[in-house]
Amino acid sequence: MGFIDDMMGKPSDEPGKAGLPFNISTSLRPVRLNARKESALELLVTVKNVTGSPVMASISAEVPASLGFDNLGMTKIKEIRIGQLEAHKEKTVSFSVCSSSKTAPGTYSVLVTVNHHYRDYSHVQNYAKKPVEIRAV
């Protein structure tokens, strides 16, 4: 049951990591990429504030060398700034992950990092990293 919960994004009211004011869940749409072809999928990252006060957050994702965030595969790291996330609210952001003709069949790990900021985006109070496995067939 744990595998399906990971794919579907199991909801929870408890923070995933001690000290973090939010929960992180991920999902893929569709569930895999085409190898040796140009194809794309959406990596959906949902961040839910589980505290009673607003928090400032940003999400970044890093892909391996054979994948990219654009059709050419040039962009390897992408950051999305969420801003203030109100108490007990959630926000879903989407990263488009693309394969190319150089993408071999296999499993690739995308590293998703959610940062908890204070004052502005240059000050990070805490962060959580979550690897997401993407299959290319």
- Enumerate the domain spans of the chain: 2-136
Supply the CATH classification number for the domain 2-136.
2.60.40.10
Q: Which residues contact 1 (CB under 8 A, 6 or more apart)?
A: none
- Count of CB atoms situated within 10 Å of the CB of 99: 26
Alpha-carbon dihedral angle through residues 15, 83, 27, 105, given to the nearest 10 degrees: -120
Residue 19 confidence (pLDDT): 72
| pLDDT value for 89 | 97
DSSP state of 12: -
Token duo for residue 31: 């569930």
Q: What is the pLDDT of residues 110-132, one digit of tens each?
A: 999 999 999 999 999 999 999 99
